[in-house]
């Protein structure tokens, strides 16, 4: 393996090093495998290598807190790799934390259609409220409990009164994601740390997770003309890009991801999407991916779908996926020097999540 390749393991059945071309992460990547295949662990190997060998900033949308320990090196790891990873600027933003560690969004800087989506406003069904919302002044577009509700309720406009009622009924002012005087996640990402991990799984209300993701996606898209490369890693991508997502907010997030998949590449917004099944991700997203990482997949229908999308991969390689052991992966596409099966190496850093063990009789806890 040459020094320019990412060290991800060995060619299956050999001791020959296997690598990935880092420069080919300027194409979208689809990473999948059924539960228990080692998909998330192996993805962590790839992210470690990108941190070690490239200057490509990572933004990781992490619903299960699997990557919150990406900066914590395991005991016994080679000192050069360990020291290099410890030196990286890795920010972990989480719900309910304070100051710069909190995962927050700034409502006032979001796009009008995204604000409306958070408020579940449909431009046709809710045309009175939607139109009133569009005409609010900038100062009234901040979800500030001390000023906004009183201002809306004192208005003679029935649309604005209806907006006040909607905000109170949805409990938006009680959400913990609003930035206020603290930095928003999008503002931290704009500083381009080596990695920004967004732990979106701990919010009290599920719409808070979608809202902060939408705020981040909006900001990346609004800044696209800056052409500052970034790799947007979306773990459990079906949560935000499923064809079955409904409601104004879920649809808004999915449509932004579809837009980035179709147009983001030329602006340096590249995606790596990880999920258990291809059928759970909108086809408009998968069809834009040029790189494939496939771990164990037993479903013939899923393998057939992947074969249709990634037609350049030999069918006999797809056929092997149903027999893969944990940690085996088919790597194919532009980022793989040769399409083939790899046994992924051990992680340098800790996994944030792990399987829960079955308790045995006589064991405490």
Whose tokens are 């037993």? That residue is: 298
Return the pLDDT at 15.
94
> Average pLDDT of 13-19?
94
Collapsed DSSP state (helix, strand, coil) of residue 298: coil
Q: Is the predicted pLDDT of residue 244 greater than 50, yes or no? A: yes
pLDDT band at residue 297 under the 50/70/90 scheme: very high
pLDDT per residue as tens digits for the range 143-186: 554 567 777 777 778 888 888 888 889 988 889 899 888 899 99
Q: Is the predicted pLDDT of residue 347 greater than 70, yes or no? A: yes
Closest CA to 339 of 46, 48, 32, 21: 21
Closest CA to 329 of 294, 303, 297: 294
Helix ranges (DSSP H) in the chain = 39-53, 79-87, 112-118, 127-134, 148-153, 158-170, 185-190, 206-222, 238-241, 247-263, 283-286, 300-309, 315-320
Collapsed DSSP state (helix, strand, coil) of residue 81: helix
| Average pLDDT over the chain, rounded to an integer | 90
> Average pLDDT of 80-91?
95
**Residue of higher predicted confidence among 134 and 279:** 279
> Average pLDDT of 190-198?
97
> Average pLDDT of 267-286?
96
pLDDT band at residue 18 under the 50/70/90 scheme: very high
> Average pLDDT of 298-326?
94
| Out of 248-252, 267-271, 350-354, least confident range | 350-354
- Quickly list DSSP for 148-217: HHHHHHT-S-HHHHHHHHHHHHHTGGG-S-B-TTSPPHHHHHHT--SEEEEEGGG-SSHHHHHHHHHHHH
pLDDT band at residue 140 under the 50/70/90 scheme: very low
Q: Is the predicted pLDDT of residue 276 greater than 60, yes or no? A: yes
Whose tokens are 């200057």? That residue is: 55
Closest CA to 280 of 38, 30, 29: 30
Return the pLDDT at 163.
87
Q: Which neighbouring-strand residues pair with 333?
A: 291
Model-wide pTM > 0.85: yes
Are residues 227 and 268 in contact, defined by beta-carbon separation less than 8 angstroms?
yes
| Out of 38-42, 131-135, 215-219, least confident range | 131-135
Residues in the chain: 365
**Number of Cβ within a 10 Å radius of residue 340:** 15
Q: Is the predicted pLDDT of residue 107 greater than 60, yes or no? A: yes
Q: For residue 288, what are its two tokens?
A: 């834009």
Return the pLDDT at 138.
47
């Amino acid at each position: 393996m040459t020094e320019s390749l990412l060290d991800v393991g060995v060619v299956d059945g050999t001791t020959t090093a296997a690598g990935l071309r880092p420069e080919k992460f300027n194409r979208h990547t689809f990473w999948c495998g059924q539960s228990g295949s080692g998909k998330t662990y192996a993805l962590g190997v790839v992210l470690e290598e990108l941190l070690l060998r490239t200057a490509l900033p990572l933004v990781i949308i992490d619903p299960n807190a699997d990557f919150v320990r990406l900066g914590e090196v395991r005991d016994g790891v080679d000192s050069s790799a360990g020291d290099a990873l410890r030196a990286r600027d890795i920010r972990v933003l989480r719900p309910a934390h304070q100051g710069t560690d909190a995962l927050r969004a700034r409502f006032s800087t979001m796009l009008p259609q995204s604000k409306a989506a958070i408020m579940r406003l449909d431009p046709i069904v809710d045309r009175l409220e939607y139109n009133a919302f569009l005409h609010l002044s900038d100062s009234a577009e901040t979800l500030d409990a001390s000023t906004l509700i009183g201002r809306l309720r004192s208005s003679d406009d029935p649309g604005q009164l209806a907006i006040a009622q909607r905000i109170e009924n949805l409990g938006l002012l009680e959400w913990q994601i609003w930035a206020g005087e603290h930095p928003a996640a999008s503002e931290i990402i704009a500083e381009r740390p080596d990695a920004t991990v967004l732990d979106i799984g701990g919010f009290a209300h599920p719409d808070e997770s979608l809202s902060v993701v939408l705020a981040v996606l909006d900001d990346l898209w609004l800044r696209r003309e800056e052409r500052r490369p970034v790799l947007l890693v979306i773990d459990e991508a079906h949560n935000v890009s499923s064809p079955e997502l409904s409601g104004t907010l879920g649809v808004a997030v999915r449509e932004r991801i579809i837009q980035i998949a179709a147009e983001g590449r030329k602006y340096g917004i590249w995606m790596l999407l990880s999920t258990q099944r291809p059928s759970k991700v909108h086809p408009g997203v998968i069809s834009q991916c040029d790189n494939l990482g496939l771990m164990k997949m037993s479903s013939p229908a899923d393998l057939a779908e992947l074969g249709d999308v990634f037609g350049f991969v030999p069918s006999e390689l797809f056929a092997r996926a149903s027999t893969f052991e944990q940690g085996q992966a088919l790597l194919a596409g532009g980022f793989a020097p040769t399409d083939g099966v790899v046994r992924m190496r051990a992680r340098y850093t800790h996994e944030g999540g792990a399987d829960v063990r079955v308790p045995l009789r006589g064991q405490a806890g």
